Amino acid sequence: MKPAKPSSATMDEQTFVPPTMRALYYTPLPTIPNDPTAVSSQTSITFDTDFPVPKPSPAQYLIKVQTAAFSHDEVRLAGLLNPTQSMPQIPLHNVCGTVISTPSQDHWNAEGPKFKVDDVVFGLVSYSRDGAAADYVLAYEDELAFKPRNISAAEAATIPLPALTAWQAIFTYAGLDDNPDRNTSNGKRKHLRVLVTNAYNNEVGMQAIQLLRSKSLFPNQHRPWICVTCSSPEEEFALRQNHHVDETIVAPLPVDPSFDLATPFRSNRWDPVDIALDCADGLLFHQAHSPHVVKNHGAVLTAVDSTPAQTQQHTEKDDKGKRGLFSRFIAVEPDGHALGRIASLVEEQALRGRVESIVDLVNGADILDAGAAGANGARRGGMFVVRVN
């Protein structure tokens, strides 16, 4: 590898990168016997100690992975986030690691690339490429931010996907302005009301609450009203005590078929919300479309239900006709600028990640194959960390 400008420290001197690395990757299971035309849609995960190290393009960084993370919701929805990904596919797109080489196209710029060799970064790698369950991963500048200095590499890896999903739900899909000095034309910023389902047990929900309670984003005069659903009185207490939510509804998952989300709104005379962020799936997502729960022309957004991803947009109706609800699956996109804002919130102690468990890369296949353990439970949105280097 060539250094940057002769007087620059953009790259170190001839950084050694081995030709192969350890990696986890998905491979298709064998096709049906005696049917050579059949294509299997099922995959298995393989641990390989001799996988080729990826070669960066002139615009890419090579990152030595310290930690990577995933949730079972993410694994379940990976095909929707990028249905055209070919095999083999290295999973785990949340990453924290060290810059090993920088984009060659930036080496002769006056300031060189944004991130230098030995910088520790975190980010969300696009689902259109291989992820970070390996010793090395490739990333573009707009997928990365500097790792917050006050948290571990394990915690840093748990933040990009859920925090960006929550950020994009609030500021992209729901259309709010992320600058507290500016108000939206429809006044949502000043009197914002938000519902978050399965808030305590899903990292997207927890990140959303932390963003909504950040004084940098929502000063006291714009403090949102937050209502959450959770699974137990203990979770209810923690959400009120630690995150200062305004109202709580106990609705354990899986939700009882007789439960009606609109009932507590009616009985407590709560006004409908502007935004419902679904982190539960199924019944709660569909009930959030009630006129008692979300106001006309509000947003019902889901981080876990694939149906809106396939219908793209859907308008609910009541007896008076169209209500104009914007109902969508949040197809999260890498965003280095937003992630930099999120990193600042972490350093301000306004936002933190949560580590469900930590395993070494060699044991990562076991926890990924055990996805069924999180398939129907409330904690399927919890973040599992894989320690790589």
Convert the pLDDT of each residue in 137-167 to its tens digit. Answer: 999 999 999 999 999 999 999 999 999 999 9
One domain, residues 63 and 169:
no
Q: Across residues 95-112, what is the average pLDDT? A: 92
Q: Is 74 contained in some domain?
A: yes
E strand or H helix at 343: helix 336-347
Assess if residue 383 is contained within a domain: yes
Q: Judge if 195 and 231 occupy the same domain.
A: yes
**Residue 74 confidence (pLDDT):** 87
Residue 297 has pLDDT above 60, yes or no: yes
Residue 40: the pLDDT is 38
Query: Does an H or E element contain 310, and which?
Result: helix 307-311
**Residue 106: strand, helix, or coil:** helix
Residues 171 and 229 in one domain: yes
Q: What is the pLDDT of residue 182?
A: 64
Write out the residue range of the structural domain in which residue 181 sits. Answer: 162-329
Lowest-pLDDT range of 39-53, 59-73, 99-113, 331-345: 39-53
Same domain for 231 and 108? no
Pair 362, 146: CB distance under 8 Å: no
Residue in the block written with tokens 């990924």: 368
Check residue 104 and give its pLDDT.
93
Mean pLDDT for the stretch of residues 262-291: 95
Q: What is the mean pLDDT of the chain?
A: 86
Residues 278 and 320 reside in one and the same domain: yes
- What CATH code is carried by the domain that includes residue 145? 3.90.180.10
Question: Strand 294-302's sheet: what is its strand order?
Answer: 247-250, 225-230, 193-196, 273-278, 294-302, 326-329
Calculate mean pLDDT across residues 290-315: 80
Query: Do residue 90 and residue 220 come from a single domain?
Result: no
Q: pLDDT tens-digit profile of 14-44?
A: 568 999 999 999 876 555 555 444 433 456 8
Residues 221 and 136 in one domain: no
CA angle centred on 29, ends 26 and 31, rounded to 5°: 145
Model confidence band, residue 6 (pLDDT cutoffs 50, 70, 90): very low
Within a domain: 13: no
What is the pLDDT at residue 284? 93
Mean per-residue pLDDT, 235-254: 96
Q: In this structure, is residue 53 part of a structural domain?
A: yes
- Residue burial 102-139, b: 16+ Cβ < 10 Å; e: rest: bbbebbeeeebbbbebebbbbbbbbbebbbbbbbbbbb
Q: Does the structure show a pLDDT above 60 at 8?
A: no
Residue 5 lies in a domain: no
The answer to whether residue 286 scores a pLDDT higher than 80 is yes
Query: Of all helices (H) and strands (E), which one includes residue 124?
Result: strand 120-124
Tell which residue, 161, 47, 71, 28, has the closest CA to residue 373: 71
For residue 198, the tally of other CB atoms under 10 A from its CB is 30
Q: Is 266 part of a structural domain of the chain?
A: yes
> What is the model's pTM?
0.89
- CATH number (domain holding residue 266): 3.40.50.720
Number of independent structural domains in the chain: 2
Task: Give the pLDDT score at 172.
Answer: 96
User: 44 and 98: one domain?
Assistant: yes
Query: What is the tens place of the pLDDT at every residue in 189-230?
Result: 568 999 999 999 999 999 999 999 999 999 988 899 999 999
pLDDT computed for residue 5 by the predictor: 41
No. of helices (H) and no. of strands (E), the chain? 10, 17
> Looking at residue 16, what is its pLDDT?
84
Q: Spell 4-35 as b/e; 16+ CB within 10 A means b.
A: beeebebbeeebebeeebbbbbbeeeeeeeee
Q: What is the pLDDT of residues 331-377, one digit of tens each?
A: 999 999 999 999 999 999 999 999 999 999 999 998 887 764 444 55
More confident call, 117 vs 316: 117
At residue 64 the predicted structure's pLDDT band, cuts being 50, 70 and 90, is very high
- For residue 373, the model assigns a pLDDT of 44
Residue 357 maps to a domain:
yes
Please list, in sequence order, all residues whose beta carbon lies within 8 angstroms of the beta carbon of residue 34, skipping any fewer than 6 positions away: none
Q: In this predicted structure, what is the pLDDT of residue 29?
A: 59
- Is 8 inside any structural domain? no
Q: What angle do CA 136, 332, 305 make, to 5 degrees?
A: 120
Q: What is the mean pLDDT of residues 162-180?
A: 93
Residue 310: its pLDDT value, please?
55
358 shares a domain with 276: no
Report how far residue 45's alpha carbon sits from residue 79's, in angstroms, rounded to the nearest whole number: 15
| Domain co-membership, 130 together with 252 | no
Distance CA 244, CA 271 (A): 19
Shared-domain flag, residues 179 and 152 = no
What percentage of the chain carries pLDDT values higher than 90? 68
The better pLDDT of the pair 238, 111 is held by 238
| SS3 readout for 33-95 | CCCCCCCCCCEEEEEEEEEECCCCCCCCEEEEEEEEEECHHHHHHHHHHCCCCCCCECCCCEE
Ranking 189-203, 234-248, 297-311 by mean pLDDT, the lowest is 297-311
- Residue 199 shares a structural domain with residue 148: no
| Top-confidence residue, 285 or 184 | 285
Residue 187, token pair as written in the block: 């006044």
pLDDT of residue 26: 86
pLDDT at 318: 46
